[in-house]
Structure 1
Amino acid sequence: MLKNNLKIAHFALLMSFLNFLFFHFPFYVFVFNNVDYTSLNGIAIIISVMILMLVANAFVFYLICCLPRNVGKFLLIIFFITNAIAVYFINTYGVIIDKTMIGNILNTNYAESSSFFSMKLLLYIILLGILPSIYIFKVKIIHVAWKKSAITSSLTLLFMLILILVNASNWLWIDKNSKKLGGLAMPWSYLVNTSLFYSDKYKSNEKEILLPDATIKDNQKSVVVLVIGESARSQNFSLYGYKKNTNPLLSKIPHLFHFDATSCATYTTAGVKCILEHTNTDKLYEILPNYLYRNNVDVIWRTSNWGEPPVHIKDYQNRDVLLPNCKGEGCDYDEVLLTGLKEQILASKKNKVLIILHTSTSHGPTYSTKYPSRFETFKPVCNSVELGKCSQTELINAYDNTIVYTDYILSQIIEDLKELNAYKSAMIFVSDHGESLGEKNLYMHGVPISIAPKEQYEIPFIVWTSDGSKQVKPNKILSQNHVFHSVLNFLNIQSPIYDEEMNIFK
Structure 2
Amino acid sequence: MPAEALTVPLWRRIDAWLTQPRSARSVVVWLSVYLALVANWPLWSELARIGGAPSVYLPTVALMTLLTICATVALLALSAWTRWMKPLWLVVVVVAAGAEHFMLSYHAVMDPSMLANAMQTDLHEARDLMSWRLLLRVLLVTALPAWVLWRMRIPPMGLLSQAWRNALLLLAALALAAGGALAMNRQLAPLMRNNVHLRYMINPPASLYSASAVALRPVFAHSRKLIPVTGGAALGASYAAQARPPLFLLVVGETARADHFGLNGYARDTTPQLAARKVLSWRDVHSCGTNTLASVPCMFSPLGKAGFEKRKDDYENLMDVLQAAGLAVFWIDNQPGGCKGVCDRIPHAFAADALDPAMKSALCDGDECLDDALLKDLDRRLAALPAERRSRGVVLAMHQMGSHGPAYYKRSSADTKRFLPECKTNALAECSHAELVNAFDNSIAYTDRFLGQAIDWLQAQSGRYDPALLYLSDHGESLGEYGLFLHGVPYGFAPEVQKHIPMVMWFGPHMRERGGLSQACMAAGLDQPLTHDNLYHTVLGLMDVKSPSYQVGLDALASCRGPVHDRGGDSRPTTSSPWALAPADRTPHSVASR
Q: State the TM-score, normalizing by the size of structure 2.
A: 0.79
Q: Shift of the alpha carbon at 1:374?
A: 0.9
Once the two structures are TM-superposed, the CA of residue 294 in structure 1 deviates from its matched residue by 3.1
Letter matched to residue 433 of structure 1? H
Matched with 1:375 is 416
Determine helix, strand or coil for the equivalent of 1:489.
helix
**Residue 464 of structure 1 pairs with residue 516 of structure 2:** no
1-structure distance, mates of 2:270, 2:35 = 46
Per the alignment, residue 214 of structure 1 pairs with 233
Corresponding residue for 1:73? 86
Residues 225-304 of structure 1 aligned to structure 2 (within 5 Å)? 225-278=249-302, 279-280=304-305, 281-282=308-309, 283=311, 284-304=314-334
What stretches of structure 2 of length at least 5 have no aligned partner?
1-13, 562-594
Structure 1, residues 23-49: CA drift from partner, whole Å, max 9, x if none? 111112222322355567x55433322
1:12 equivalent to 2:28? Answer yes
2:132 alignment partner, one of 110, 119, 142: 119
Q: Is 2:114 the partner of 1:82? A: no
CA distance 1:260–1:204, shift in 2 (3 Å): farther
> In 2 relative to 1, CA 373–297 (structure 1 residues): closer, same or farther, beyond 3 Å?
same
Superposition RMSD on alpha carbons, in Å? Answer: 2.5
- Confirm whether residue 317 of structure 1 aligns to residue 332 of structure 2: no
Q: Retained in 1: the 8 A contact 2:258–2:283?
A: no
Number of the residue aligned with 2:203: 186
TM-aligned CA distance change 1:498 to 1:148, over 3 Å: closer
Report the equivalent of 1:140: 153
Secondary structure of the residue aligned to 1:140 is coil
Superposition deviation, residue 199 in structure 1: 5.7
Q: Quick one: which of 420, 428, 435 aligns to 2:461?
A: 420
**Aligned equivalent of 2:69:** 54
CA displacement, residues 379-414 of structure 1 (integer Å, 9 cap, x when unaligned) = 111101111111111111111111111011101111
Q: Distance in 1 between matches of 2:434 and 2:58?
A: 39
Letter in 2 for 1:54: I
8 Å CA contact 2:246, 2:511 repeated in 1: no
Which structure: larger Rg? 2
Distance, in Å, in 2 between the alignment partners of 1:292 and 1:245 is 36
Q: Once the 2 structures are TM-superposed, how far is the Cα of residue 181 of structure 1 from its aligned partner?
A: 2.1
Whole-angstrom distance in 2 between the partners of 1:162 and 1:358: 51
Aligned residues: 503
SS in 1 for 2:509: coil
Distance 1:148 1:314 in 2: 57
Query: Measured at CA, do residues 398 and 36 of structure 1 come closer, stay the same or move farther in structure 2, by a change above 3 Å?
Result: closer
Quick check: 1:334 aligned with 2:386? no
Secondary structure of 1:264's aligned partner: coil
Q: CA–CA distance in 2 between the matches of 1:463 and 1:432?
A: 16
Would you say 1:25 and 2:41 are equivalent positions? yes
Provide the rounded CA distance (Å) in 1 between the counterparts of 2:217 and 2:77.
Answer: 30
- Counterpart of 2:406 in 1: which secondary structure? coil
In structure 2, do the counterparts of structure 1 residues 325 and 461 end up closer, same or farther at CA, with 3 Å as the change threshold?
A: farther
Which of 116, 126, 137 lines up with 1:103 in the alignment?
116
Q: 1:433 aligns with which of 442, 455, 475?
A: 475
In 1, distance between residues paired with 2:381 and 2:358?
Answer: 14
Unaligned runs of 5+ in 1: none
1:430 partner SS:
strand
Rate the CA distance shift 1:276–1:427 in 2: closer, same or farther, 3 A: same
Residue of structure 1 in register with 2:541 after alignment:
489
In structure 1, C-alpha distance between the alignment counterparts of 2:254 and 2:193, rounded to whole Å: 31
Q: How far apart are residue 208 of structure 1 and its match?
A: 2.3
Distance 1:204 1:480, change over 3 A: farther
1-structure distance, mates of 2:448, 2:222: 35
Please state whether the residue corresponding to 1:182 is helix, strand or coil: helix
Cα gap change, 1:92/1:154 in structure 2, threshold over 3 Å: closer, same or farther? closer
Residues 1:90 and 1:159: Cα distance change in structure 2 (over 3 Å) = closer
When residues 160 and 105 of structure 1 are mapped into structure 2, their CA distance, relative to the original with a 3 A threshold, is same
Q: Percent identity?
A: 26
Moved more, 193-202 or 27-36: 193-202
Distance 2:479 2:173 in 1: 44
Write out per-residue CA displacement over residues 424-481 of structure 1, whole angstroms, 9 at most, x where no aligned residue.
2210111011011111221111111111111111100001111142236425121112
Task: Between 334-343 and 396-405, report the one with greater CA deviation.
Answer: 334-343
1:345 paired to 2:385: no
CA distance in 2, matches of 1:82, 1:314: 38
Q: Equivalents in 1 of 2:212, 2:45: separation in Å?
A: 26
Q: Partner of 2:185 in structure 1?
A: 168
Deviation at 1:320, TM superposition (A): 3.5
Residue 249 of structure 1 aligns to a residue in which SS?
helix
Per-residue deviation, residues 63-105 of structure 1 (Å, max 9, x unmatched): 4212x4x343222111011111111111111111111211221
Contact kept, 8 Å, 1:263 with 1:271, in 2: the verdict is yes
* C-alpha displacement of 1:61: 2.6
Structure 1 residues 480 and 325: CA distance shift in structure 2, 3 A: farther
* Distance in 2, Cα, partners of 1:291 & 1:71: 54
- Alpha-carbon distance, 1:308 to partner: 2.8
Instruction: Report the CA distance between 1:296 and its aligned residue.
Output: 2.1
Alpha-carbon shift at residue 312 of structure 1 (Å)? 2.8
Structure 1 CA distance for aligned equivalents of residues 320 and 279 of structure 2: 29
| Paired residues of 2:251 and 2:471 also in contact (CA < 8 A) | yes
* Amino acid of the structure 1 residue aligned with 2:114: M
SS at match of 1:18: helix
CA contact (8 A) 2:264 2:281 kept: no
TM-score, normalised on structure 1?
0.92
Change (3 A) 1:22 1:177: farther
